[in-house]
Chains A and B, each alone.
Chain A
Amino acid sequence: MKPIRNLVAVIAVIVIAGLFAGCGSSKTVSRVEPNTTIDLSGDWNDTDSRLVAEEMIKDVLGRPWLGQFTGAKNKSPNVIVGTIKNRTSEHISAITFTKDLERELLNSGKVTFVANKEERSEVREERADQQENASAETMKKFQQETGADFMLRGDISSIIDQSGDDKVKFYQVNLELVNIETNQKAWIGDKKIKKLVSQSGSKF
Chain B
Amino acid sequence: MSFSKSYPGALWLSVAALSLFLTSCGPSTQFYREVDVYAAQGQYDKAVEEVRKNEKSYGDKSTVLYNLDLGALYHYAGETDSSNKYLFAAEKEIEDLYTESISLNVLSYILNDNVIPYDGEDFEKVLVNVFLALNYASKGMDEDALVEARKVDLKLREYSRQYEGKNKYQEDAFIRYIAGVLYENEGEVNDAFISYKKSYETYQVYEKEYGTNAPPFLLNDLVRTAGSLSFDDEVETYKDLGGRMPDKNTQNAGSVVIVTYAGKGPIKIENRPTVTIPDSSGTLHTFQMALPKFAPRYLSGRAYIVTAISVRDTLTTETELAENVNAIAEKSLEDRLALIYLKSGGRALAKFLAAEKAKRDIKEGSDSKLKNFLASLAIDIAVGVSEQADTRTWRTLPAEIQLARMNLPAGRYTLSVSASDGGYNLRSIEVDVKPGKASFVLVDDLR
A binds B: yes
CB distance from B108 to the nearest CB of A (A): 9
The answer to whether the Cβ of A201 comes within 8 Å of any Cβ in the partner chain is yes
Contacts of B358 in A (CB 8 A): 3-4, 7
Q: Indicate with 1 or 0, residue by residue over A88-116, a CB within 8 angstroms of chain B CB atoms.
A: 11110000000000000000000000000
Asked whether A15 lies within 8 Å of B107 as measured between CB atoms, the reply is yes
CB distance from B82 to the nearest CB of A (A): 17
Asked whether A202 lies within 8 Å of B102 as measured between CB atoms, the reply is yes
CB distance from B14 to the nearest CB of A (A): 8
CB distance from A164 to the nearest CB of B (A): 8
- Measured between alpha carbons, how far is A160 from B365 in the docked complex, in Å? 60
Q: Known: A1-B365, A4-B8, A85-B143. Is A14-B100 also a contact (CB below 8 A)?
A: no
Q: Known: A11-B15, A163-B161. Is A89-B103 also a contact (CB below 8 A)?
A: no
The answer to whether the Cβ of B232 comes within 8 Å of any Cβ in the partner chain is no
Asked whether B99 lies within 8 Å of A201 as measured between CB atoms, the reply is yes
The answer to whether the Cβ of B45 comes within 8 Å of any Cβ in the partner chain is no
CB distance from A117 to the nearest CB of B (A): 16
* Chain A residue with the shortest CB-CB distance to B18: A15
Identify whether the interface residues of A are mostly helix, strand, loop, or mixed: mixed
Our pick among A7, A14, A199 for the contact of B103 (Cβ within 8 Å) is: A14
The answer to whether the Cβ of A141 comes within 8 Å of any Cβ in the partner chain is no
The answer to whether the Cβ of B280 comes within 8 Å of any Cβ in the partner chain is no
The answer to whether the Cβ of A78 comes within 8 Å of any Cβ in the partner chain is no
Q: Indicate with 1 or 0, residue by residue over A14-43, a CB within 8 angstroms of chain B CB atoms.
A: 110110011000000000000000000000
Identify whether the interface residues of B are mostly helix, strand, loop, or mixed: helix
Our pick among B102, B151, B158, B161 for the contact of A203 (Cβ within 8 Å) is: B102
Asked whether A18 lies within 8 Å of B103 as measured between CB atoms, the reply is yes
Q: Which size class do B's interface residues fall under?
A: 35 or more
The answer to whether the Cβ of A200 comes within 8 Å of any Cβ in the partner chain is yes
Asked whether B101 lies within 8 Å of A203 as measured between CB atoms, the reply is yes
Q: Known: A8-B11, A88-B150, A89-B154. Is A3-B99 also a contact (CB below 8 A)?
A: no
Asked whether B157 lies within 8 Å of A162 as measured between CB atoms, the reply is yes
Contacts of B158 in A (CB 8 A): 162
Contacts of B110 in A (CB 8 A): 11, 14
Asked whether A90 lies within 8 Å of B357 as measured between CB atoms, the reply is no
* Chain A residue with the shortest CB-CB distance to B354: A7
Q: Known: A4-B361, A7-B11. Is A91-B147 also a contact (CB below 8 A)?
A: yes
Q: Indicate with 1 or 0, residue by residue over A176-204, a CB within 8 angstroms of chain B CB atoms.
A: 00000000000000000000000111111
- Measured between alpha carbons, how far is A36 from B100 in the docked complex, in Å? 31
* Chain B residue with the shortest CB-CB distance to A9: B4
- Measured between alpha carbons, how far is A14 from B110 in the docked complex, in Å? 10
Asked whether B18 lies within 8 Å of A160 as measured between CB atoms, the reply is no
Asked whether A4 lies within 8 Å of B4 as measured between CB atoms, the reply is yes
Contacts of A22 in B (CB 8 A): 60
- Measured between alpha carbons, how far is A11 from B100 in the docked complex, in Å? 19
Asked whether A160 lies within 8 Å of B357 as measured between CB atoms, the reply is no
Kindly identify, within residues 60 to 106 of chain B, every residue whose CB is under 8 Å from any CB belonging to chain A.
Answer: 60, 95, 98-106
Q: Which size class do A's interface residues fall under?
A: 20 to 34
- Measured between alpha carbons, how far is A92 from B152 in the docked complex, in Å? 17
Asked whether A91 lies within 8 Å of B144 as measured between CB atoms, the reply is yes
Q: Known: A1-B2, A1-B5, A199-B99. Is A14-B147 also a contact (CB below 8 A)?
A: no
The answer to whether the Cβ of B115 comes within 8 Å of any Cβ in the partner chain is yes
- Measured between alpha carbons, how far is A5 from B147 in the docked complex, in Å? 55
CB distance from B154 to the nearest CB of A (A): 6
Q: Known: A15-B18, A201-B99. Is A5-B2 also a contact (CB below 8 A)?
A: yes
CB distance from B74 to the nearest CB of A (A): 18
Contacts of A85 in B (CB 8 A): 143
Q: Known: A21-B103, A199-B98, A204-B101. Is A3-B357 also a contact (CB below 8 A)?
A: yes
CB distance from A173 to the nearest CB of B (A): 16
Asked whether A201 lies within 8 Å of B151 as measured between CB atoms, the reply is no
Contacts of A76 in B (CB 8 A): none
Asked whether A203 lies within 8 Å of B98 as measured between CB atoms, the reply is no
The answer to whether the Cβ of A86 comes within 8 Å of any Cβ in the partner chain is yes
- Measured between alpha carbons, how far is A160 from B156 in the docked complex, in Å? 13
Q: Known: A7-B354, A22-B60. Is A14-B106 also a contact (CB below 8 A)?
A: yes
* Chain A residue with the shortest CB-CB distance to B141: A91
CB distance from A12 to the nearest CB of B (A): 10
Asked whether A18 lies within 8 Å of B115 as measured between CB atoms, the reply is yes
Contacts of A17 in B (CB 8 A): 103, 107
- Measured between alpha carbons, how far is A200 from B11 in the docked complex, in Å? 34
- Measured between alpha carbons, how far is A130 from B318 in the docked complex, in Å? 54
Q: Indicate with 1 or 0, residue by residue over B320-361, a CB within 8 angstroms of chain A CB atoms.
A: 000000000000000000000000000000000010011001
Contacts of B106 in A (CB 8 A): 14
Asked whether A3 lies within 8 Å of B102 as measured between CB atoms, the reply is no
Q: Known: A89-B154, A162-B158. Is A8-B98 also a contact (CB below 8 A)?
A: no
* Chain A residue with the shortest CB-CB distance to B360: A3
- Measured between alpha carbons, how far is A97 from B88 in the docked complex, in Å? 22
Contacts of A200 in B (CB 8 A): 99
CB distance from A16 to the nearest CB of B (A): 9
- Measured between alpha carbons, how far is A5 from B99 in the docked complex, in Å? 31
Contacts of A5 in B (CB 8 A): 2, 4
Asked whether B101 lies within 8 Å of A21 as measured between CB atoms, the reply is yes
- Measured between alpha carbons, how far is A4 from B104 in the docked complex, in Å? 21
Asked whether A90 lies within 8 Å of B5 as measured between CB atoms, the reply is no
* Chain B residue with the shortest CB-CB distance to A165: B98
- Measured between alpha carbons, how far is A22 from B60 in the docked complex, in Å? 8
- Measured between alpha carbons, how far is A89 from B158 in the docked complex, in Å? 14
- Measured between alpha carbons, how far is A138 from B144 in the docked complex, in Å? 43
CB distance from A6 to the nearest CB of B (A): 9
* Chain A residue with the shortest CB-CB distance to B132: A91
Max chain B Cβ within 10 angstroms of own Cβ: one of A1, A21, A163? A1
Q: A4-B361, A11-B11, A199-B98 are in contact. List 5 more A-B contacts (CB 8 A).
A: A14-B103, A18-B107, A21-B103, A89-B147, A204-B103
